[in-house]
Amino acid sequence: MDLTAFFQLLDATLRLATPLLLACLAGLFSERAGIFDIGLEGKMLVAAFLAAAVAAVTGNVWLGLLMGIGGSLVLSGLHGLASITFRGNQLISGVAINFLAAGITVVAAQAWFAQGGRTPQLGAGSRFAEIQLPGFAALRDIPLLGPLLADVVSGHTILVYVALLAVPVSWWVLFRTRFGLRLRAVGENPAAVDTAGVSVIRLRFAAVAIAGLLCGLAGAHLSTAEPAAGFIRDMTAGRGFIALAALIFAKWRPWGALGACLLFGFLQALSLRPATIEAVIGLRVQTQFLDALPYILTVVILAGFVGRAIPPRAGGEPYVKER
């Protein structure tokens, strides 16, 4: 395979893995605190719509990003209210959020823009621009390493770099801070945390809020940082569920989440470049099969064929304080 084509494939992998990684880390914080979040898909979808809609109207992509995060946080608050305060079924709450988001985004988009449930295409000033990292272009002539740095690492939007930075930050917060220790303890044994005088409800709401923030970033990336910037109906296309599969594959660890999401991103990148596979194996592969690969892998992971993954012990269980 041509090295240029290979580097283009890696470049697309990073870009396509970004929303998956952000959503996967969102699920990581939520589930580590004992709150299962099936509603990642819905929060990403609402964030994608609000980010694109506000950016299209105001011409300010940063304002769109803030509104997208705000919309995701509102849905996270609803999920927390239903599953933490009222001790409802967490899975049903997440599914309800997905249905709500799928309907309200199309209705609102049609009411505001009258373009069949989509927003206008975002222009250069209304979307995130690619960032050329300083000094990387000068390294292009170095064999292998130069093109890797100049064409793969450099040239992405700020949200890609935020997602990559979120991995070590998440690891440090969860495994090197008191807050992270308590958060993980809430997902394993909330009664012990409560006995120590720490509020289980407050910690779980904090985890849900972090998940909302990360889902907001993921959704905003889809609509304001992709080449075809703008919102279209159901544009998340199951990425929230793929992120959950990646989280199980990663066994609820940040660095594992990075590897799993890069794998899914690589499969999605392959589906956009069938000619690359044909050049490598000498056979023509159906585009429909390549499109289905990430979802096939999701089913395989959820079916348990990649090894046993043990979730937090108190996951999915509402906490009732003993009197």
pLDDT digits (tens, 9 = 90+) for 133-192: 888 788 777 888 888 888 889 999 999 999 999 999 999 999 999 999 999 999 999 999
The answer to whether residue 94 scores a pLDDT higher than 90 is: yes
Angle of helix 40-58 relative to helix 3-32, nearest 10 degrees, comes to: 120
Which of 96-105, 261-270, 287-296 has the lowest average pLDDT? 287-296
Give alpha helix (H) positions in the chain: 3-32, 40-58, 61-80, 90-113, 145-147, 158-176, 178-188, 190-195, 200-224, 239-249, 254-271, 274-281, 287-302
- For the chain, what are the domain ranges? 3-122+149-302
Average pLDDT over residues 94-112: 94
Distance, in Å, from the CA atom of 197 to the CA atom of 182, rounded to the nearest integer, reads: 11
Distance, in Å, from the CA atom of 313 to the CA atom of 186, rounded to the nearest integer, reads: 10
Cβ distance 250 to 259 under 8 Å? yes
Classify domain 3-122+149-302 at the CATH class level: mainly alpha
